[in-house]
Structure 1
Amino acid sequence: MARRKNQKKGPKKTFGTRDDSNNQKNWTELVKENEKWETYYKDLGVIPVEEWDQFKKTCQSQLPLTFRITGSRKHSKEVLQLFQEHHLPNLTNVTWENEVVKPPMALPWYPEHLGWQLDVSKSVIRKNEQFARMQRFLVVENAVGNISRQEAVSMIPPIVLDVKPHHYVLDMCAAPGSKTAQLIEALHAESDEPSGFVIANDADYKRSHMLVHQLKRLNSANLMVVNHDAQFFPRIKVDSTEGSKGPQFLKFDRVLCDVPCSGDGTMRKNVNVWKDWNTGSGLGLHIVQLNILERGLNLLKEGGKLVYSTCSLNPIENEAVIAAALRRWGDKVRLVNCDDQLPGLVRSKGITEWKVYDKQFQVREKGHENCLDSWFPPTAEEVEKFHLENCMRVYQHQQNTGGFFITVFEKIDTSTAETPVPASETAAAVEEQAQEPELKKAKIDTSSTASHIQKKEKLPRDANEEPFVFVDPNHPALAKCWEFYGIDDKFDKSTCLVRNATGEPTRTIYHVATPLKQLIVNNEDRLKIVYSGVKLFVSQRSDIDCAWRIQSESLPIMKQHMNSARIVPGNMEILKKLLTEAFPRYEDLTADNVDPEFISKTQKLSAGCTFIKVDRNDPSKEDLFLPVWNGSKCINLMVCKEDVHELLYRIFGIETTSKQNPKADHMAKKAQEAADASANSSKEETSEKEEVPAVTVTETSTAE
């Protein structure tokens, strides 16, 4: 290809460039060295001298692949058992190019053996048959939300946050969403309908939509994704209680502040850190990090917990931020000692002394011009009071991970304090007033105005954004659904919404958890909501009894509230048939004698959405509850391709490739048979095909 006119001549770059000479694709890796980084951390002494060589060597090596099995799913133990019994034995004592390959190992500190680490090269995973099978297993389970790939140290903050099903949780800087997923899993650990919720926020609009893509797999009605600057996260109004003065604002039981950072703990996977690292990044982020932490503490309920974390080892972004917050909050907060948590996790204590290098890489003393006092270490008196040793530092070489910093705050419950809060002011008002000066200063430093803090609370909806409009539970469309599917009154029928300006059910109806409904209704002018709710009903053919089909993602909730003849017990044989064949005809199923009772009961039902319930007769395994389309002549299992692959393998041990679609393959085979059939049967075949398109459209909607 000819060189563009504006392209400069000269030697090619060494990182990520290709040498096309002799048609060879040779790539030169970035040299993983940075003199300032090495000088800085050696001088700070955060890594013991005798461990430095091992630390640096680990930082320069490939980061292991780690994943966790989703703990909120009732069949998580089944997925774990499948991995341990069908894959792990074949991954032990494997040799590749005359070297023994390390087998996968359970992370010793992750609860219930649901976290795993795999320290092998990508070439082994691609080319070794057993590792390739395992990779396929991970891909399939990840696609349906049973497994999440996530860096090991990134799993720590949500665990120590200790989320319970009744908690109101805020993730202030959530994208890309792996930690948020853990929070949702903890919320659903005991029930598909927890009373708490998770609000996931990210300041970047595009990243907030990436967050939605990551979290939709979990199918939680207790999730809301919003798009705000975490430093100025708005107060959220709740219903005013009787006799209260003015609006009441939400306080969270748990807050996660995984703040933006310089990211030198990620240099094993983000190689650009090696060439880009400098002291200026940490210094520049310090105030932003402190503001986010301050805002998080402000929004935290008394008695609640907040986790502050970074993927940086720099004390300017870590202990310095923690110390600055402790100075401001005094006895209202304390740092939690987590030594008794996560047994098996090798970690170091927080530090209390460090040098401050400015952007010119010069060591500075406190009081120097252009240096913030909060950058510097605490005084001897503060060291004794703050207990910074309760902070956790996880270094790369300690257990072959990335680097991370984690601190757990607890907000003191002042209701048991000796000095009462003045009657003229609520505790919340005192905190709001206390936070204002710091926020104003930070906003002035970023070329804005203090008045903008108040304006940030009211955010008009963008013209391109779809609204969240709740539907009257007595609306004819909903009333028909309640009757048709036998939905009981324990289900909150006022939680159904649509996302169009008319407020009329047209194509999709969503469901959100009851407490989130109240927040959406009360904060239309405050919250920039990106996503909330799971699909409940999707429109289908209008020439049948009920024009709405229950969507698969809401079935874990709805099956608990349904009492209907449309739920038909089936056996494993009919389930396997439905997983591998698309639109099998009733007459063929009857001839094959596949679960006659299921076929008989289903045929008597009117056309439309029906459900198959399979009892697996094993208390250790979850029973199955899946949607099917009941036609006049045929039936079809309404699950997406990813679920088909996963169910075939988990239930029946049938492995498929990524290019395979068992039901589509069956359709192609049927089409070929039809093409080869005699002319005398062409009319009958045409009649059968006329029934398929309408149902096929419905299946596509399911996959959506």
Structure 2
Amino acid sequence: MARKRNFKKGNKKTFGARDDSNAQKNWTELQKENEKWEKYYKELGVIPEDQWDEFKKTCQAQLPLTFRITGSRKHAHEVLSLFEEQHLPNLTNCEFEGEVIKAPTRLPWYPENLAWQLDVSKQVIRKNEQFSKVQRFLVVENAVGNISRQEAVSMIPPIVLDVQPEHAVLDMCAAPGSKTAQLIEALHANEDEPSGFVVANDADHRRSHMLVHQLKRLNSANLVVVNHDAQFFPRVKTDKDSNQFLKFDRVLCDVPCSGDGTMRKNVNVWRDWCTGSGLGLHTVQLNILKRGLNLLKKGGKLVYSTCSMNPIENEAVVAGALRHFGDKIKLLDCQDKLPGLVRSQGISNWPVFDKNYVKKEKGDEGTHETWFPPTSEEAEMFSLDRCIRVYPHQQNTGGFFITVFEKIDGDSDEKPKRAGTEEPKEGLVPEKKQKTETGVAAPAPVKKEKLPRDANEEPFVFLDPKHPELEKCWSFYGIDDKFDKSSCLVRNAAGEPTRVIYYASSSLRNIIEANDDRLKLIYSGVKLFVSQRSDIECSWRIQNEALQIMKHHMNQTRVADVNLECLKMLLMESFPRFEDMENSHIDDNFLSKMKSLSAGCAFVNVNRGEDKESLFMPLWNGSKCVNLMVCKENTQELLHRLFGDEAALKQAAAAKESQKVAASKVEETPIPAAEEAIPTTEN
């Protein structure tokens, strides 16, 4: 996928040097032309002549706002109902400056009606009261992780990959993380504790840390983030005491590309696009795809995708992999998948132009054989028409390319190699190459005896389940033996629980312990226990992000059932006193339970019926008062979702806007008017 444009510090001319808004508008529109791009795609012939004007006009137009609702099935459908019942009716037959505005529409191909598109301008969203109200809803729900603002076509690859809870999944080029989030959600679709896991990799160290920031809100113990060049992703041992290597059930290769499918939101593509970009990236893309197929198990699926429309980056790469692996792999026909998605078939013939737009033939000096289309015999065998092409004008989206592979023969187990070098010995890691858009050649290998580790990166050390501090927690919270107590870890050189104890799924524990000398680990595990006061029975409190797991393993000793009236009081009041609660008679059973417990972390459970998600939240139980331990953003979202508190929604949206403004001032980064208070769209 193409890298999002960076607004660098001090770049004051990003949105035009003059203050005049019309001049800025004209400057932007001027960039939405590229003679070579237009000539190339007309000659390519993938867009019918009678559709060209519509195609180009759509590429020049603003991208609509799209989002998907996330979370467990009950939770997601509750947020969907809130949108459909409280917001959607007000957006139907809505007018702005005398014209009827198009109401939001479902993406018909996205499962369970959980993705939506708003074909309105940012001006309408900012100035129309009804759309402004929806904007606040989207901002707040995005902040707490209930929705993800994501480009529509970017949602396709994880859906066709078909991830199940038991799958081992590799995302080879994961940043910024929107597709990775979909993979994790699929893993947890119906299970809080799936047996599978997701390995999210990115070549760029900075972007791998950004990936952590994006994915932490999913609170998954089944995620590990690593930092490797995807072309040379290392073989992963399944266990420290064996010499078996992991094969993945699912692999996503959403590779770096020239990104002309993103030109609706990235005006720089219009200026920078040339035929040389695709040619330069082709080898890197093919190397990543081949490495992904090597890591795929027999019967597994791999999705190769780009946000480019250029066949040199798409069908040519796919054909190169099919040629390399022969009958060990095949393309799957996905025409029956995603009903409602307007798409075009892949192509088997295309011209090749060099960076100076000179047409080349196979065998010409300076060319690669895999740039060129397959022979007629190969074309019949490869079935490249099974590839999916989505063009911007077909349903008002960006452009995208998607192909699904299946591994027929799992015997191939090639180790990653750099061209012209000896095969790296096991445990020796070549220097990583950052994810780029320019297709620069891979650097010469630099062999290192140990994996590089930044000064602020600590090791992953798993604790003995009988460690005295853990034993306190097991007893205090009544943790059952079904919970994997050997999967608790700390991240400090001493290997002792001092401040935070994390939890990673048992399947990931084996991977982490067996590959300390192979994988550059960036992140794994959710916060399980955090140390607080030392003057109480148990100083460790269970963190919010681990509750979806821990609620299944605790007895009811420190759990109290509460009614909705009591929950509302706990959300609205900080540290309500027992005395005041007793006088108000809000929930006598809850009050009695709290008085009977020792000081420390406890929990409230709100049973809302079979059709709605039960709520399970931590609180602090003191000697004279209690306090619900839910962050302000979540508190305001719950007040709005459960009790219709519109004021809470406004406060939360205003707080997010203030945070954005403050962050932009610190970074000296200009914020375009078109993106104010709108969550960022990711590819």
Deviation at 1:456, TM superposition (A): 7.2
Give the aligned partner of residue 377 of structure 1: 373
Cα deviation code 1:179-202 (max 9, x no counterpart): 000000000011000000000000
Deviation at 1:318, TM superposition (A): 0.3
Taking the aligned partners of 1:555 and 1:53, their CA distance within structure 2 comes to 53
TM-score, scaled relative to structure 1: 0.86
Give the aligned partner of residue 405 of structure 2: 409
1:29/1:363 CA distance change after superposition, 3 Å: same
Give the aligned partner of residue 210 of structure 1: 210
Deviation at 1:313, TM superposition (A): 0.3
1:60/1:14 CA distance change after superposition, 3 Å: farther
Is contact 1:238-1:249 (8 Å) kept?
yes
Q: In structure 1, the residue corresponding to 2:28 is in which secondary structure? A: coil
Aligned residues: 629
1:464 aligned to which of 456, 470, 489: 456
Cα deviation code 1:355-414 (max 9, x no counterpart): 001011111111111111110110000000000000000000000000000000000046
Give the aligned partner of residue 36 of structure 1: 36
Give the aligned partner of residue 671 of structure 2: none
Query: What amino acid maps onto 2:441 in structure 1?
Result: T
After the TM superposition, which residues 416-427 of structure 1 pair with which residues of structure 2 at under 5 Å, given as runs?
427=411
Deviation at 1:316, TM superposition (A): 0.4
Larger Rg: 1
Taking the aligned partners of 1:626 and 1:437, their CA distance within structure 2 comes to 51
Give the aligned partner of residue 673 of structure 2: none
1:71/1:535 CA distance change after superposition, 3 Å: closer
1:569/1:15 CA distance change after superposition, 3 Å: closer
1:145/1:301 CA distance change after superposition, 3 Å: same
Q: In structure 2, the residue corresponding to 1:67 is in which secondary structure? A: strand
Give the aligned partner of residue 653 of structure 1: 644
Query: What amino acid maps onto 1:284 in structure 2?
Result: G
Deviation at 1:81, TM superposition (A): 0.5
Taking the aligned partners of 1:347 and 1:27, their CA distance within structure 2 comes to 33
Deviation at 1:651, TM superposition (A): 1.1
Give the aligned partner of residue 625 of structure 1: 616
Q: In structure 2, the residue corresponding to 1:636 is in which secondary structure? A: strand
Segments of 5+ residues of structure 1 without an aligned counterpart are 1-11, 415-426, 665-704
Taking the aligned partners of 2:482 and 2:330, their CA distance within structure 1 comes to 41
Is contact 1:70-1:76 (8 Å) kept?
yes
Give the aligned partner of residue 252 of structure 1: 248
After the TM superposition, which residues 535-554 of structure 1 pair with which residues of structure 2 at under 5 Å, given as runs?
535-554=527-546
Cα deviation code 1:508-558 (max 9, x no counterpart): 110000010011101111111111000000111111110000001100100
Query: What amino acid maps onto 1:603 in structure 2?
Result: K
Give the aligned partner of residue 446 of structure 1: 441
Query: What amino acid maps onto 2:639 in structure 1?
Result: L
Give the aligned partner of residue 266 of structure 2: 270
Taking the aligned partners of 2:280 and 2:18, their CA distance within structure 1 comes to 38
Deviation at 1:436, TM superposition (A): 4.6
Cα deviation code 1:64-110 (max 9, x no counterpart): 00000015353111010110000000011011011111111000100
Cα deviation code 1:162-215 (max 9, x no counterpart): 000000000000000000000000000110000000000000011111111111
Is contact 1:291-1:439 (8 Å) kept?
no
Deviation at 1:133, TM superposition (A): 1.2
Give the aligned partner of residue 673 of structure 1: none
2:550 aligned to which of 538, 547, 558: 558
Taking the aligned partners of 1:50 and 1:40, their CA distance within structure 2 comes to 17
Taking the aligned partners of 1:364 and 1:269, their CA distance within structure 2 comes to 32
2:387 aligned to which of 382, 388, 391: 391
Is contact 2:136-2:650 (8 Å) kept?
no
Return 404-413 or 64-73, whichever deviates more. 64-73
Deviation at 1:564, TM superposition (A): 3.1
Give the aligned partner of residue 683 of structure 1: none
Give the aligned partner of residue 643 of structure 1: 634
Cα deviation code 1:592-643 (max 9, x no counterpart): 1110111011111111101111111x21101111111111111110000111
Query: What amino acid maps onto 2:471 in structure 1?
Result: A
Query: What amino acid maps onto 1:137 in structure 2?
Result: F
Q: In structure 1, the residue corresponding to 2:347 is in which secondary structure? A: coil
* 2:493 pairs with 1:501: yes
Is contact 2:303-2:402 (8 Å) kept?
yes
Cα deviation code 1:256-293 (max 9, x no counterpart): 00000000000000011111111111000000000000
Give the aligned partner of residue 612 of structure 1: 604
Taking the aligned partners of 1:564 and 1:87, their CA distance within structure 2 comes to 38
1:71/1:641 CA distance change after superposition, 3 Å: closer
Cα deviation code 1:225-273 (max 9, x no counterpart): 01110001111111278xxxx6111110000000000000000000111
Is contact 1:153-1:402 (8 Å) kept?
yes
Is contact 1:19-1:26 (8 Å) kept?
no
Taking the aligned partners of 2:455 and 2:96, their CA distance within structure 1 comes to 57
After the TM superposition, which residues 346-385 of structure 1 pair with which residues of structure 2 at under 5 Å, given as runs?
346-385=342-381
* 2:559 pairs with 1:567: yes
Taking the aligned partners of 2:252 and 2:143, their CA distance within structure 1 comes to 26
Give the aligned partner of residue 660 of structure 2: none
TM-score, scaled relative to structure 2: 0.89
Q: In structure 2, the residue corresponding to 1:123 is in which secondary structure? A: helix
Give the aligned partner of residue 309 of structure 2: 313
Deviation at 1:580, TM superposition (A): 0.4
Q: In structure 2, the residue corresponding to 1:237 is in which secondary structure? A: coil
1:260/1:26 CA distance change after superposition, 3 Å: closer
* 2:333 pairs with 1:337: yes
1:650/1:20 CA distance change after superposition, 3 Å: closer
Deviation at 1:139, TM superposition (A): 1.3
Give the aligned partner of residue 19 of structure 1: 18
After the TM superposition, which residues 572-611 of structure 1 pair with which residues of structure 2 at under 5 Å, given as runs?
572-611=564-603
Taking the aligned partners of 1:533 and 1:395, their CA distance within structure 2 comes to 39
Return 386-395 or 594-603, whichever deviates more. 594-603
Taking the aligned partners of 1:574 and 1:521, their CA distance within structure 2 comes to 45
Give the aligned partner of residue 200 of structure 1: 200
Query: What amino acid maps onto 1:446 in structure 2?
Result: A
Is contact 1:570-1:614 (8 Å) kept?
yes
Deviation at 1:26, TM superposition (A): 7.6
Taking the aligned partners of 1:70 and 1:311, their CA distance within structure 2 comes to 23
Deviation at 1:446, TM superposition (A): 3.5
Give the aligned partner of residue 140 of structure 1: 140
After the TM superposition, which residues 215-230 of structure 1 pair with which residues of structure 2 at under 5 Å, given as runs?
215-230=215-230
Q: In structure 1, the residue corresponding to 2:74 is in which secondary structure? A: coil
Give the aligned partner of residue 483 of structure 1: 475
1:353/1:110 CA distance change after superposition, 3 Å: same
Give the aligned partner of residue 237 of structure 1: 237
Taking the aligned partners of 2:343 and 2:62, their CA distance within structure 1 comes to 21
Deviation at 1:472, TM superposition (A): 1.0
1:352/1:456 CA distance change after superposition, 3 Å: farther
Query: What amino acid maps onto 1:492 in structure 2?
Result: D
Q: In structure 2, the residue corresponding to 1:353 is in which secondary structure? A: coil
1:221/1:39 CA distance change after superposition, 3 Å: same
Taking the aligned partners of 2:169 and 2:294, their CA distance within structure 1 comes to 14
Deviation at 1:460, TM superposition (A): 3.9
1:230/1:661 CA distance change after superposition, 3 Å: closer
Taking the aligned partners of 1:463 and 1:568, their CA distance within structure 2 comes to 44
Is contact 2:633-2:652 (8 Å) kept?
no
Return 398-407 or 621-630, whichever deviates more. 621-630
1:521/1:100 CA distance change after superposition, 3 Å: same
Give the aligned partner of residue 675 of structure 2: none
List, as ranges, runs of 4+ consecutive aligned residues in structure 1 with deviation greater than 6 Å.
Answer: 12-15, 21-27, 441-445
Is contact 1:19-1:27 (8 Å) kept?
no
Give the aligned partner of residue 659 of structure 2: none
After the TM superposition, which residues 86-97 of structure 1 pair with which residues of structure 2 at under 5 Å, given as runs?
86-97=86-97
RMSD: 2.4
1:447/1:325 CA distance change after superposition, 3 Å: closer
1:379/1:504 CA distance change after superposition, 3 Å: same
